[in-house]
Structure 1
Amino acid sequence: MTEREDRTCGVRAHIGSFTSAGGRGITTAAVDARTGALAVLGVTGGIADPSYLALGRGGRRLHAVSETERGAVRAFAVDGRGLPRPEAPAVPVGAAGPTHLAVAGEWLLTANYTSGSVSVLPADGTADGTATGPTAVLRHEGAGPDPERQAGPHAHQVVPDPSGRRFLSVDLGTDSIRVCTLDPATGAAALHAETALRPGSGPRHLAFHPGGGLLYVLHELEPLLTVCRWDADRGHVEPVREVPVAPPAAPGAVRAYPSAIVAAPDGRFLWAAVRGTDTIAVFALGAGPDAGPDAGPERPRYVGGVSCGGHWPRDLALDPAGHRLYAANERSGDVTWFDVDPDSGLPRRAGSLAVPAATCVVLG
């Protein structure tokens, strides 16, 4: 085995794309253990617009949404080289426009943007072909003040909570977060509670602090970050603070559309992708030379912003150690990787890989 083969035989990057915009499907790349560089291993088709991906079964299975009017999910077995191979036909989610998915134990959760709902499906069923549809579809209700983007509900993300007892869905159209219960045996789901956020802000994605007691909500229609306390026992979200994602924009400046958010595994930093300005915003979550006496995870401190390395950063991914950050730049058609400064959290561009209409990156 050569030195390069030894350095790329472990971690893989699976990259989703919009095939309707020229994407090739799912691109799989080897990740160089020393530099973080990506090298394409192969491309997997067989599904339209696989805009979001999730790994399950210890990394041995990859799940993909089909973000189409007839929304679906499809499972892929990950072979010995780390390449996904289709296992069975796609399974309908019972809704339109699934834009995000997550694995929760034996179940798949999808956030269906167009229909404004969340679906639950058996994870194994999407692989063996026995499932014909979801075990539950929870339809959101409501609207927001933006007549173009918030005429109805638009579920944009669904995330299991760290305790594994519940899951949360983020709705851009209703300016809210819904907390739901999930029966691990049957896949039955029900709404437990709903928390309203700033009207017209358009919450898009959230990330939990690794300590489990806080979550950070990133808004698309206003460049804001909302800090919330999370009570896993009660299933309760409590907003406590709003933080701008960037310094105030000058009149006539390009509008910012935040998209994705990730937290460092050690809880020291938070990164947010911002479309429009094509930047990555960096927040410190603890002590630092410019931190005040009340600094901490509940008070994110804006450190600065750097170029995303392309145009329209739709997704971010962080390596498990928190040393490298990857940005999927949809409109420039690339995935750019960065070395993260361990003291400031600021990313430094290290390279990029051409991936047409790139929409997400999953490492595993």
Structure 2
Amino acid sequence: MEPLTFFMGSYTEYLIPEFGGIGKGIYTVQLNTETGELSVLHTQTVRNPSYLALSDDHKFLYCSTELDESEKPRVKAFRINSDCSLQFINEQPIEGGYPCHIVVHEKNVLLACYATGNVIQYPLEHLGSVLPVATNQRHSGSSVNKDRQEAPHAHQVTVHPNNKDIYVCDLGIDTLKAYEIKEEKLRPNINKDVSISEGGGPRHMVFNPSGKLGYVINELTGKVSVLQQVDDVFKEVAIYNSLPADYSGTPSASAIRLHPNGKFLFVANRGAELLTIFKVHENKLLNIEHQYTHGEELREFNITPDGKWLIACHQNSYDTVVYRIKEDGKLEETYRTKEILSPVCIVFLNQSKT
């Protein structure tokens, strides 16, 4: 079986005394698809590349440097070499603070800034370089959690399977702000904005393959909002707790992924340090297991395109854990390493499905 190559972002410095890391930048890593073992192939020095995105043709990789606005964050473009190392192309300044998520869509980089609550569009040149800002959309408002929702906090940009509708999870205003690209500009589509239960703090979301259902993980409650499309607009139709009933800590949900087969939904929670596995049945979820990951600050995870492996990142204890995904959706740990320091995200280079 062919090994699987992926890139991992890391925190290389501390944003505030209690949050950050000591990583080396962007790691190129290889997964042995028989044993689950990981090997680090290359590292690329970048400041706090906390989220990564690949171009559609997988020739280029993009990241933002998650920094305070006063530290002059940047969006950076890299060429992916034949050995999967990275070659810097160019960068552009980010007009916002703590850029925390990035996607590539229709020859654009779309970037969410947490601290300043804005979404920025950068067109891409055909040789991979990032062009200057085309639009900078700023959110407004607040919500009920006075400590965390005092202002907008754009947290993730997600493109709907129709490849047209764009949704931005905003933790600060309990809203998914809807956008579309019109005449090559990112434009609000307020008729499709989605309200989430007050105080939830929507962080990340995924859609099912048909695009009729969406799942939002709410950072501030640890709850999953199920969204259903009604007359071309999404509505929150159900809420499920991803934390154990006896969990008494402060919720800090961090990531959500749908299995490629659409049958299982996985959710990560920091503090509790566990992955919650739901079985998907139409628009309902059945909690089938809590998988404790035995690390600290379970920041992100991703599922290999063939659906056979799940790889989890622990920001503070440096544990990268590889699980084999069983047919019933449950997880079996096969490998663990602390070689990758302060790991916080994963994108897969080989996207072929079996």
Shared fold (TM-score greater than 0.5)? Answer: yes
Partner amino acid, structure 2, of 1:225: V
Quote the offset at 1:128 in angstroms: 3.2
RMSD: 1.7
Q: C-alpha separation between the residues in 2 aligned to 1:278 and 1:168?
A: 27
Partner amino acid, structure 2, of 1:323: K
TM-score w.r.t. length of structure 2: 0.91
Quote the offset at 1:125 in angstroms: 7.7
* Aligned residue pair count: 337
Q: Secondary structure at the match of 1:58?
A: coil
Moved >4 Å (runs of 4+): none
Counterpart contact for 1:121–1:187, Cα < 8 Å: no
Q: What stretches of structure 2 of length at least 5 have no aligned partner?
A: 14-20, 350-354
Deviations 1:270-295 (A, max 9, x none): 0001100100000001xxxxxxxxxx
What residue number does 1:43 align with? 43
Q: Secondary structure at the match of 2:57?
A: helix
Partner amino acid, structure 1, of 2:8: I
What residue number does 2:73 align with? 71
Counterpart contact for 2:161–2:210, Cα < 8 Å: no
Q: C-alpha separation between the residues in 2 aligned to 1:188 and 1:195?
A: 18
Quote the offset at 1:84 in angstroms: 1.7
Q: C-alpha separation between the residues in 2 aligned to 1:93 and 1:339?
A: 38
Deviations 1:80-100 (A, max 9, x none): 111222112x21232111100
What residue number does 1:87 align with? 89
Counterpart contact for 2:80–2:87, Cα < 8 Å: yes
Q: C-alpha separation between the residues in 1 aligned to 2:92 and 2:128?
A: 9
Counterpart contact for 1:72–1:93, Cα < 8 Å: yes
Q: C-alpha separation between the residues in 2 aligned to 1:153 and 1:93?
A: 17
What residue number does 2:260 align with? 265
Summarize the Cα distance change of 1:284–1:98 in structure 2 as closer, same or farther, 3 Å threshold: same
TM-score w.r.t. length of structure 1: 0.88
What residue number does 2:188 align with? 190
What residue number does 2:237 align with? 240
What residue number does 1:149 align with? 148
Pairing of 1:1-364 with structure 2 (within 5 A) = 7-8=2-3, 11-20=4-13, 21-45=21-45, 47-68=46-67, 69=69, 70-88=72-90, 90-124=91-125, 127-128=128-129, 131-132=131-132, 134-183=133-182, 186-192=184-190, 193-230=192-229, 234=232, 236-249=233-246, 253-285=248-280, 296-343=281-328, 345-354=329-338, 355-364=340-349
Q: Secondary structure at the match of 1:283?
A: strand
Counterpart contact for 1:120–1:137, Cα < 8 Å: yes
Quote the offset at 1:126 in angstroms: 9.2
Deviations 1:10-57 (A, max 9, x none): x31211011112111001111212223210001001x31100001114
Counterpart contact for 1:75–1:126, Cα < 8 Å: no
Quote the offset at 1:335 in angstroms: 1.6
Summarize the Cα distance change of 1:140–1:199 in structure 2 as closer, same or farther, 3 Å threshold: same
Counterpart contact for 1:17–1:358, Cα < 8 Å: yes
Counterpart contact for 2:312–2:322, Cα < 8 Å: yes
Q: C-alpha separation between the residues in 1 aligned to 2:225 and 2:129?
A: 40
Q: What stretches of structure 1 of length at least 5 have no aligned partner?
A: 1-5, 286-295
Q: C-alpha separation between the residues in 1 aligned to 2:259 and 2:124?
A: 28
